[in-house]
């Protein structure tokens, strides 16, 4: 979007926030109704050998992958401009953070999104989890823990010559265009997730399909809001490209805690 007045830009930002609220409210309702949970999916599969919720998760991821690829193909979004595709791979930080997050998720009976769902259901433990989670996350990103992080484990990284999305990484080595590779990878990976979910007949019920399709479409919709609806090709104030109402100033999607 271009040639907007400051008032129109503010209005666009407000509309983006409102649409995001509606999408995330629907997402919360779906998660509550279907008991969609990453931790629950893993624990059900390992402890009870019931992979239904893992299939929900795979269906959601598969739909989100195909949805993002489709929007990229239409030119609605450019995933290389997102927060997640920089050329610096912080593999040590990612590993340590993932392990700590997994431990915390088990102790807290769910991740950040599940905590919000539990708060909506009146769970007092989740209120404490929410407060501690928010405080520690903020300290880790911008407080004294953030200083320690940036001066230690964040120094261990792999610097790429391109963005860290798979089409960009592989295009030079396989001699194919990024857009063509994006479609091949999206159809292959996303299709595999969806196929795994849908091949089992017992998975075909309203609750499972609502969970997988609903969560997948919600993720896709947030990508659209962040990267297309609230995107300015040129902000009249800065004369630079802008993504409105995002914490990083770049395209974002749903995440557990930040941005």
Residues, the chain, total? 259
Q: Is the pLDDT of residue 1 over 60?
A: no
Average pLDDT score, the chain: 90
Angle at 187 between CA 186 and CA 190, to 5 degrees: 70
The full set of domain ranges for the chain reads 1-82+166-259, 88-159
Whole-number pLDDT of residue 179: 85
Whole-number pLDDT of residue 257: 56
- Tokens read off for 169: 């990484």
Question: In the predicted model, what is the mean pLDDT of residues 238-256?
Answer: 82
Work out the percent of the chain whose per-residue pLDDT is above 70. Answer: 98
Query: Which residues touch 238 (CB under 8 Å, ≥6 apart)?
Result: none
Confidence of residue 236 (pLDDT cuts 50, 70, 90): confident
pTM of the model: 0.89
How many Cβ atoms sit within 10 Å of the Cβ of residue 26?
A: 14
- Tens digits of per-residue pLDDT, 20-74? 999 999 999 999 999 999 899 999 999 999 999 999 999 999 999 999 999 998 9
Interaxial angle between packed helices 52-74 and 38-48, expressed in degrees from 0 to 180 and rounded to the nearest 10: 140
Which of 145, 105, 141 lies closest to 126, judged by CA?
105
CA–CA separation, 45 vs 178, rounded Å? 36
Looking at per-residue pLDDT, the higher value among 256 and 8 belongs to: 8
- Tokens read off for 147: 């200083």
Whole-number pLDDT of residue 9: 87
CA–CA separation, 105 vs 101, rounded Å? 6
Three-class DSSP category at 64 = helix
CA torsion, points 90, 96, 98, 102, in degrees to nearest 10? -170
Question: In the predicted model, what is the mean pLDDT of residues 230-243?
Answer: 83
- Radius of gyration of the CA atoms of the chain, in A: 20
Q: How many CA atoms lie within 13 A of 219 on its CB side?
A: 21
CA–CA separation, 254 vs 214, rounded Å? 14
H-assigned helices in 75-123: 91-107, 112-120
Confidence of residue 2 (pLDDT cuts 50, 70, 90): low
Whole-number pLDDT of residue 68: 94
- Tens digits of per-residue pLDDT, 78-136? 988 888 888 899 999 999 999 998 999 899 888 888 898 999 888 899 999 999 998 99
Please state the separation of Cα 50 from the chain's center in Å: 25
- Tokens read off for 44: 């059900």
Angle at 58 between CA 52 and CA 59, to 5 degrees: 90
Which of 74, 84, 14, 83 lies closest to 228, judged by CA?
74
Question: In the predicted model, what is the mean pLDDT of residues 161-169?
Answer: 87
Distances (CA, A) of 27 to 60, 67, 116, 213, 225: 12, 16, 11, 11, 15
């Amino acid at each position: 979007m271009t040639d907007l007045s400051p008032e129109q830009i503010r209005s666009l930002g407000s509309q983006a926030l409102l649409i995001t609220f509606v999408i995330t409210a629907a997402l919360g309702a779906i998660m509550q109704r279907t008991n969609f949970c990453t931790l629950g999916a893993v624990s059900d599969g390992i402890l009870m050998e019931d992979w239904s919720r893992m299939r929900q998760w795979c269906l959601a991821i598969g739909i989100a992958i195909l949805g993002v690829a489709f929007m990229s193909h239409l030119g609605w979004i450019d995933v290389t401009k997102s927060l997640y595709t920089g050329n610096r791979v912080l593999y040590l930080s990612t590993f340590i953070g993932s392990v700590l997050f997994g431990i915390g998720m088990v102790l807290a009976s769910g991740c950040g999104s599940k905590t919000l769902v539990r708060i909506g259901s009146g769970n007092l433990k989740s209120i404490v989890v929410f407060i501690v989670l928010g405080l520690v996350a903020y300290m880790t990103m911008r407080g004294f823990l953030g200083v320690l992080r940036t001066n230690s484990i964040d120094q261990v990284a792999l610097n790429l010559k391109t963005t860290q999305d798979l089409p960009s990484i592989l295009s030079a080595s396989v001699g194919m265009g990024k857009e063509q590779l994006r479609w091949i990878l999206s159809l292959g990976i996303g299709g595999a997730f969806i196929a795994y979910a849908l091949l089992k007949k017992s998975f075909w019920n309203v609750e499972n399909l609502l969970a997988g399709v609903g969560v997948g479409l919600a993720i896709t919709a947030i990508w659209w809001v962040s990267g297309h609806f609230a995107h300015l090709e040129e902000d009249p104030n800065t004369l630079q490209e802008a993504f409105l109402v995002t914490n990083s100033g770049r395209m974002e999607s749903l995440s557990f805690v930040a941005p």
